[in-house]
Structure 1
């Protein structure tokens, strides 16, 4: 058995074990593939078939697709891709595909026989080859992890595609960093060679340089994706974390997705993968995990919610956390702010370092204003809250602000003595 055949046999065994519920050994298959298998399985992708027609992405009529494809920014680089790659593989039996940012195949290029063969697995213009729809494949995985990847034979999640190999890399808007699509080469054993991915990466680099040199204006993804207007994030309740588009019903968010959105709203300039990883976990998390979470967030909320390089919000977003920060900064009344902080929600429940920092800064801003302004109502509210009940400086300020003989002044004095005794101050 040749080395290549032995590797394929090992991967196929790992794949079969995985589908049987047996965790394959770490050295049996690449981690990027194993993690993609897990995401595919969790999303309910059928390993028996690759059916891009099952995509939740809105379907288009032939005329709508033609119009959409013509207007899509990746179409502007098609002539360059043809000259750099398509012409060179004219008789090789492989196809070159250009996708949009959700994995929809906009162009499938190659000689007629190769395209006909690809059509047998539904690898045709207009079909959606995202990881969420057909499982592990190069175009979908490149979008999921935002980097060039190669998927060889049995590494595909769908058994129907395991006779194929593919290599793909994402194309980024040079002005905004948004992923606008993928360049992919798909074929047989010839695409399993290492040079295939290197060739795709070289073409992508040339394409991105061309886009930059011509200053192609791709800055606003609203030219080819439905944008979000008036989205609202609610995380300071005991009823879960909610996301709502204008005019649509709300959606429940996972804690991790709520954390990401709060962090990106707090850092409008954006966070790169490493920065976001460190703000989500004390020791950081794997960059691939960060990219996978962003991919799932885009899948759940829309592709126009979060941009790339760095990750940042690309949609109008208001939130209850943002409202509180704005009210505190603008000098608004504090009693309702203290009530809202007392509800807890994500700011109390999350252990993510970035969220903890946001909470600590917000709490300290509220406390500083309460003590500095000396408003009796706000001082009472603060000292009766979970955040201020042991705040000695606030109790002393409240005692000072209450008139001599007021019954609450005696209560404040008693609490001051208790805190002095308890903490030895």
Structure 2
């Protein structure tokens, strides 16, 4: 539009507003913005945008914002134009809060009166239709002229805004805006602002590709590549040859699990700032399970060639399933874990999370392990039954899940401890006794230490260590 056309357009809008016919004659995108603004309860007579950030906090907020590294380029590209044409240049965050402002001094003073300055918010829900808020709401560049603003105080202003969209997350990061009085800001300014916005997005894309390259290099260096490579923001960048996952999966669940497009549950393993996605094993491809539940270390499960750390509750469930190969109902599992105070609903939720890690390895109705199972505590029990004392001493790394309060597992733990200790005292070689003395209970066991001092040669370092422990115990 030329100046005469803009004047006629402005007059037509003013007359329509005075007649209460807001939508009469306005552009479609402006009418839609007015609708959102009135739905938000905007008062046309407010005189300035709200202040939401104290000026003293702006510096730290800027430093933490993802657009901070790009603002020198944005400002250097547009500042001279803004100065020479008596405009101001603004960069906001995704919520329309102004973080940076440059431009003509006199125009900045006028802008201060309406809150076009650092720390003020210009979202549509705060001030109605404007170049910043409407660009953010629509994710498109927009020019808002004079009477198109909801606020009457802005009818001497025009503004051109363009959103900046992160190519990594597809989320809006902020907005670039050039504002000035309605007589000086040409509608074509929006094309310039849009170009600078696209330039900022291209810089973000370069940085994204550099991160992807580093992540792929770490993945390529794996001797045995397992899992599908996912960025920290959920983009699939390697390992999905069929493309069945699509370009992106959700990675925000703090539990580390995600629901895939086909309904399967996947587990996300942190990997050099990104993730390795492990999906459930297919039917007929179940991998053997090996449980490491003895001793003070973190309990874990080997599923094929993957070693997964287990929470105490998940370790308890797997131990109980290993003890009951024919399976347990949720009610039975609950009783074994909590006694009469158990809640089957809690068990079902835990099983759901555990199946996300182990997939079809755990079946339902009843809950049971569907593949071959090796558990260190069961191995020790078998070795004792076969009188393989040396083997039992080697495998026994300490009590079964020592932090578990499960009535069933406490009983199993105590029985196994008594069996191992008795066997070592009766039949154990010095090496067997010394291996048991390295466990949590054996370390301070007076009878075991005395026997070690008796059976080991006086100069044996193990005898000296046992004697020292006895002395400390005294």
Structure with greater Cα Rg: 2
Larger % of strand: which? 2
Instruction: Tell me the TM-score normalised to structure 2 length.
Output: 0.44
